[in-house]
Amino acid sequence: MRRSALPLVLVVSLLFSPVVFAAADPTYTALRASRPDGRTITLTNYVFDRDVLHFTLNGKLHLLAPVEGKTSGAVFIGQGSYELKPATNYERRQLAINSGDDKLTSIVDQFDSAVFLGTALVAAAEKAGAPVAGTPDQAALSRWDNYMKRQRKDLHTNMHVRLLQELLNKDEPVFVGWVDGKKYPPAALIVDPRGADDVRLTPLNSGGEQTMMVVIHDTRGGVWYSARYKSEIESGKGTVYAPLADAEHYFIDANIKGAELSATTVMTFVAGANVRVLPIDITSSLAISDASFAPAGENPTWTPVAFIQEEKKEDPDAAVVFPATLTAGQRYQLKLTYAGREVLENAGDGNFTITRRQNWYPNVGTFTDMATYELRFTTPQKFEIVGVGEQVENRVEGDSRIAVWKATHPIRVAGFNYGKFKKMSQSDKDSGTTFDVYTNPGTPDIITQINYYLAAAAEENGGGPENIKVNTASLAQSAMADGINTVRTGNMFFGPLADKRVAITQQSQWFFGQSWPTLVYMPYVAFLNGTIRNTLGLNGAKDFIDNVGAHEVAHQWWGHQVGTKTYRDEWISEGFAEFTAGVVAQQTGGWPRYNDFWEKARHNILDKPRAATISNQDAGPISQGIRLATWRNPGAYDSIVYSKGAYVLHMLRMAMYDNKNGDTAFMEMMKDFASTYAGKTASTQDFQTIAEKHATQSLHLTQDGKLDWFFSEWVYGTDIPKLASKLDFTDSGNGRYKVTGSITQSEVGDNFATVVPIYVYFEKNSFVKLGSLVLVGNTTKPVEVEVALPKKPVKFAINAMHDVLAK
């Protein structure tokens, strides 16, 4: 991505700013300046235990200068060690994968210095011995300065925002241990009662998992460990903190000039408990120049608010600090003014790429927190805005265009596309949905590139009439067809969407589509036909290109109508969207194309990419979410969350399919799920509960009506069975046939249960499900059955519809 090297000059907004410029928060300033102040605690065989972390320290703790009467950290110099004993087998497995030691049972390492942040460790150590005053130790000071340099230059995470929260929001003690181990790469060991993702070292939405090990390393880095407290896992009970702010409405008044965006956002929100410091998510490419707040209501009186946002090249995580604790449950408005040049990127000939789609406006949580929106854009007259929701205004005023878009029911995230657009609209009677396809009428750089490659390829082939060119308008029709097919399929399987209009807009990124509520961003390559793809040598991307349209439109249900609770539930968005793409393939290409879709998915799941040291299936279960992507196999996340996630839903569909009622039971389950969780977030457990309500007899392997067996095998497990069959038949006369043989399951755990369907084939592509056989563990079961059939069969076989994911 191209970045502007020019510093931002905010003269205009400063001159016209109606409020007094807020001073920096003094507590933050003091915290930020706090270094070892000479107080030390000598530790001898001092043991510090917090959840699954066990530290032993021999040496000196050099305390940071206190702020507001509390010590928020210390430098340790001496002999130290730690052990992390994972609370679950999933996390033990994840540690084994990340560390590269497959036999690993716990992480044990030694260090001779460390930086501890938060009040937890110092408060505990003070009980072991009172601090002794002295002059600051040079080694401790330099260790601290090194840490601060790292926070700003490498981590780009402002840990002081979390420390300020701990002090001013009166949080339970936080523990962060920065250790440079002797065996493992540098790591942060975190125990945060609000959830370890609150320290913002990782974008993971961990749903309150308090304990985390985040490793900082060029190749091996990542979240090695993340789990709830061991005590909570064992008792099955836990506390999840309510968010600090629940946003209800955003009013974004934005001005675009060239590639610069400047804006003022007013967020209306309900305050949670004990809020003085409120972290704000906004891209570091946008510099905040002003912040103020007011109680919600007509004619607000704005009070300046201190804000935190360090230099964008350093640790720019933003936050605001209210002058006093907000009243919990009360409604407020927060107004932030900001500007920057990197949210939009010029893509040539009047087109722009929106590069910061999730945090181009200050927010307190997209995707998990729903709100209504009003987006008001002032742009040069020749450009158009395509926003989320409905366009309520689009007028020209002098050289400017003013466009207003409103989302009147709560959505998870707001966004827009921007440039010169040609709009093509079509209302589909069948689905009741209108599609607006926006294409770029000019020649954006990417089309110039594509045509350059096409011309070069034609020349190589001797030129001539096959010299083909693409233009953006010709690409609209295929997007329209994808959209209509997907919404028809979605309506039939999942029920109707709240919004009856969807915009599909072109974007310049090659291999990347994205879906916002009512607004889909589609890559140009998705619209190229087979001949052009072939000429460009893009056949390897055929599956992506075939399915990306349906996948992105399907996110209107999965991801937007129904959100996901945590990163462990991400398959409910990505896997379900991918499943939908499979069903759309079936609507356009029949059962053979559907079957082919799952054969490709199966290969993808079982594959071991060339650069990987573990196969996709061994990278972990679906429930590890994005953490499946490790240095051992970076692509495993896609294969498992997208493909295997989709396959799990397909397996439920096939198990619930019956020759008489078809997909009725499955559709009822999906519609129930989509409507029950519309506007909410769902976890895997939530989906399992709905599935149990609708499960057909074929899925009831246990007497308790539960589907624990299915979800623990497929969502929380990694085993994939190998299935083999040997089935013969003899004609018994009178239309009766005797089937004999056996079915074998292998390569699974002892309790792994599979319902193996048996099909009878009358011709190559004509088959009917006859029944099924339950296999548990590694076993061979005999088949001996006599059946009456309407005509002479060709053969009997298992798993004809990829009913069960198998090797």
The least CB distance from residue 577 to Zn ion, in Å, is 5
Min dist CB 569 to Zn ion, Å, is: 14
Give the residues across from 797 on adjacent strands: 759
Cβ contact 163:308 at 8 Å: no
Residue 766 region, left (φ>0) first, then alpha (ψ -120 to 50), else beta? beta
Phi first, then psi, for residue 527 (nearest 5°) are -105, 5
Strand partners for 377: 254, 403
# of chain residues touching Zn ion (CB under 5 A)? 2
Q: Using the CB atoms, write b or e for 188-214: b if 16+ within 10 Å.
A: bbbbbbbbbbbbbbbebbbbbbbbbbb
Span near Zn ion by CB under 5 A; candidates 45-53, 63-71, 523-531, 569-577:
569-577
Contact range with Zn ion by CB under 5 A, out of 355-363, 487-495, 574-582, 611-619: 574-582
- Of 197 and 574, which CB lies nearer to Zn ion in the complex structure? 574
Q: Least Å distance between CB 513 and Zn ion?
A: 8
Ramachandran bin of 278, using left for φ above 0, alpha for ψ from -120 to 50, beta for the remaining angles: beta
Cβ nearer to Zn ion, comparing 543 with 658: 543
- The C-alpha atoms of residue 656 and residue 711 are separated, in whole angstroms, by 15
User: Smallest distance from the beta carbon of 548 to Zn ion, in angstroms?
Assistant: 9
What whole-number distance in Å separates Cα of residue 485 and Cα of residue 502?
13
> Shortest Cβ distance from residue 99 to Zn ion (Å)?
30
For residues 281 and 250, the answer to whether their CB atoms sit within 8 Å is no
Which among 609, 630, 804, 618 has a CA at the least distance from the CA of 724?
Answer: 804
| In the complex, least distance from residue 243 CB atom to Zn ion, rounded to whole angstroms | 25
Closest CB to Zn ion among residues 544, 762: 544
Place of tokens 């093509």: 424
Binding mask 614-653 for Zn ion (x = CB under 5 A): ----------------------------------------
Binding segment for Zn ion (CB under 5 A), chosen from 293-301, 440-448, 453-461, 575-583, is 575-583
Q: Which residues pair with 502 in a beta bridge?
A: 435
Give the residue with the Cβ less far from Zn ion, 506 or 547. 547
- Tell me whether residue 352 or residue 637 sits nearer to Zn ion (CB atom): 637
Query: Token pair for residue 530?
Result: 């087979």
**Residue ranges with strand state E in 562-623:** 563-564
Query: Taking the complex as a whole, how short is the minimal distance between the CB of residue 551 and Zn ion, in angstroms?
Result: 5
Find the part of the chain contacting Zn ion (CB under 5 A) among 201-209, 447-455, 567-575, 703-711. Answer: 567-575
Q: How far is the CB of 554 from Zn ion (least distance, A)?
A: 8
- Cβ closest to Zn ion, residue 55 vs residue 576: 576
- Would you say 284 or 556 has its CB closer to Zn ion? 556
- Rank residues 421 and 677 by Cβ distance to Zn ion and give the closer one: 677
**In this complex, which beta carbon is closest to Zn ion, that of residue 290 or of residue 570?**
570
Q: How far is the CB of 547 from Zn ion (least distance, A)?
A: 10
Strands 390-397 and 422-428, bridge-based pairing: unpaired
- Paired with 291 in beta bridges are 336
CB nearer to Zn ion: pick between 254 and 548: 548
Query: What minimum distance in Å lies between the beta carbon of 710 and Zn ion?
Result: 24
Helix, strand and coil in the chain, % to nearest 5: 30, 35, 35
Please state, as a whole number, how many other Cβ atoms lie within 10 Å of the Cβ of residue 409. 11
Report whether 163 contacts 179 (CB < 8 A): no
Q: Which of 72, 35, 38, 310 is nearest to 148 (CA)?
A: 35
The residues of the shown chain that bind Zn ion, judged by CB under 5 A, are 574, 577
